Amino acid sequence: MLHNLDLEKVLFLDIETVPEIYHYKELDKNKQELWDAKSAYFQKDGQTAEDVYERAGIYAEFGKIVCISVGIISQKGGERVLRLKSFCSDDEKVVLQEFCNLLNSYFNTSQHLLCGHNVKEFDLPFIARRILINRLKLPLLLDIAGKKPWEIGHLDTMELWKFGDFKHYTSLNLLASIFQIPTPKDDISGKDVARVYYEEQDLDRISIYCQKDVATVVSLLLKFKGETLISDENIIET
């Protein structure tokens, strides 16, 4: 599959999420009770629902998307070019609508693919759920109900690395290291995003971090294909 993959038909992506409400104590009573029930399954060693509330951002029912970064590969002068773009806003519906517009306009056939690291488990389900919560319509590539597995245009670099092994998670940072790809974690990490968003109100910093992950996924897929990486001068932010 990878040998015949048309990279220009692939939309590479990554998302950054935060708790929809920053602190547990700021939740209304109903949402607190719902989080108490949800978090009971992963509380450990006497932890309370408030102790584990920092994880709220990874659940679509309690979190929101503040940034979606995408990458598109094209040819220019005989060389590959990677164009990066981010949709960032305090208004999640704006982020999702702009992303949906991109999919509906340019990635809207069964020949197109969405690609990222752990996207099948996290990014794509999260996006789809938040689209529905915001009362938007699912684009073709996210509307997977009733489709057979081979009809779903989702490509996951973590799944590719597993080769059928379901025992463990392998981080993008680890794979970048072993394939000698410059690490995307040279500023903040995922655990810092909520703080940077709520306390520093720095969406630009989050966008840069998110775009680096997209560029790393592109490099990783090229490594899997045994192909030359895209040079830094051919990575363009739009």
Over its length of 238 residues, how does the chain's per-residue pLDDT go in tens digits? 788 899 999 999 999 999 999 999 999 999 999 999 999 999 999 999 999 999 999 999 999 999 999 999 999 988 999 999 999 999 999 999 999 999 999 999 999 999 999 999 999 999 999 999 999 999 999 999 999 999 999 999 999 999 988 877 899 999 999 999 976 556 788 889 999 999 999 999 999 999 999 999 999 999 999 999 999 999 999 8
pTM (two decimals): 0.95
Contact by Cβ (8 Å): 190, 15: no
Token pair 């949800």: residue = 38
Q: How far apart are CA 204 and CA 186, in angstroms?
A: 15
Q: Which of 206, 230, 204, 205 is nearest to 217 (CA)?
A: 230
Contact by Cβ (8 Å): 238, 84: yes
Extract the runs of DSSP E, i.e. beta strands, from 77-193.
Answer: 79-88, 113-116, 154-156
Greatest Cα pair distance in the chain? 61
CATH class of 7-20+62-237: alpha beta
Mean pLDDT score of the chain: 95
Dump pLDDT digits (tens) for 172-192: 999 999 999 976 556 788 889
Q: How far apart are CA 207 and CA 124, in angstroms?
A: 18
Dump pLDDT digits (tens) for 15-64: 999 999 999 999 999 999 999 999 999 999 999 999 999 999 999 999 99
Q: How far apart are CA 123 and CA 16, in angstroms?
A: 9
Question: Which sequence spans correspond to the domains of the chain?
Answer: 7-20+62-237
Strand order through the sheet with 63-76? 154-156, 113-116, 10-19, 63-76, 79-88, 235-237
